Amino acid sequence: QKEVEQNSGPLSVPEGAIASLNCTYSDRGSQSFFWYRQYSGKSPELIMFIYSNGDKEDGRFTAQLNKASQYVSLLIRDSQPSDSATYLCAVKRNTGFQKLVFGTGTRLLVSP
Amino acid sequence: DAGVIQSPRHEVTEMGQEVTLRCKPISGHDYLFWYRQTMMRGLELLIYFNNNVPIDDSGMPEDRFSAKMPNASFSTLKIQPSEPRDSAVYFCASSFGTSGGEGSYNEQFFGPGTRLTVL
């Protein structure tokens, strides 16, 4: 079992719809959870961070965390074609260490 | 600030040759990370440094790989000898450290990457 698992996709949604991206992790010691966006041929960039159970909203993005189920998700409201990218989920095990473990990413395609 | 700088951006070499990838982190950042990204394995951490000292090199695939950070503004990742399975995009990232308390986070800023092709 991989430490961080994501469906590779592609996840296809029409413009204006809600895109839901999911991630599960195996290490219950994981403390912090990150969503990175990576456009084709570019480097990853951080878009959301969450460490408490529940929801965290930032503009059109909402991160959801359920530590009991070891599940983290990213919702993108009013999806735009410019949101088309690969979304990487990453977890940090211990707040004292800086090591992130990444999933393989979910490719999102938003059609006009 | 120019962000994390990597060179070269593209490298094509033949099997058996030595390859050296270079990274300049963001000024003031005390953590530096080397990652490798492939379609099959995704983004994998190879090694990271704190204040120029290697902290965790458990991701380095084998002895053919080595990394150094002689000072706070420069790091190298060397592959000798290179093999076709080393073909990947290699990213360098840097960040500040954190206090370590719950909720602390340290955004890792990634460089543009080096696309390595070993023939």
| pLDDT at residue A96 tops 60 | no
- How much is the average pLDDT of B85-99? 89
B91 to A44: CB separation less than 8 angstroms, yes or no: yes
Mean pLDDT of B67-86: 97
Contacts of A62 (CB under 8 A, 6+ apart): A55, A56, A74, A75, A77
Cα-Cα-Cα-Cα torsion B104, B30, A90, B23, nearest 10 degrees, comes to 160
Backbone angles phi, psi at B58, to 5 degrees: -65, -20
pLDDT at res. B73 = 95
Point out the residue among A98, A103, A105 whose CB comes nearest to the CB of B106.
Answer: A98
Lowest mean pLDDT among A30-34, A92-96, B28-32, B84-88: A92-96
Q: Which of B102, B105, B114 to mutate to test the interface with A (most CBs of A within 10 A)?
A: B105
For the cut 70, the answer to whether the pLDDT of residue A20 exceeds it is yes
CA atoms lying within 13 Å on the CB side of residue A36: 23
Q: With a cut of 80, say whether residue B110 has pLDDT above it.
A: yes
B102: pLDDT strictly greater than 60: no
Distance CA A88, CA A102 (A): 7
Residue B101 has pLDDT above 90, yes or no: no
Q: Do B44 and B35 contact (CB within 8 A), yes or no?
A: yes
Mean pLDDT of B11-24: 98
- Asked if the model's pLDDT at residue B39 lies above 60, the reply is yes
Question: B103 to chain A, minimum CA–CA distance in Å?
Answer: 6
| B105·A34 Cβ contact <8 A | yes
Tens-digit pLDDT profile for residues A43-63: 999 999 998 889 999 999 999
Q: ∠ CA B31-A47-A1 to the nearest 5 degrees?
A: 75
At residue B2, the pLDDT reads 81
Contact A51 B103 (CB under 8 A): yes
CA pair distance A1, B6, nearest whole angstrom: 33
Q: What percent of chain B has pLDDT over 70?
A: 92
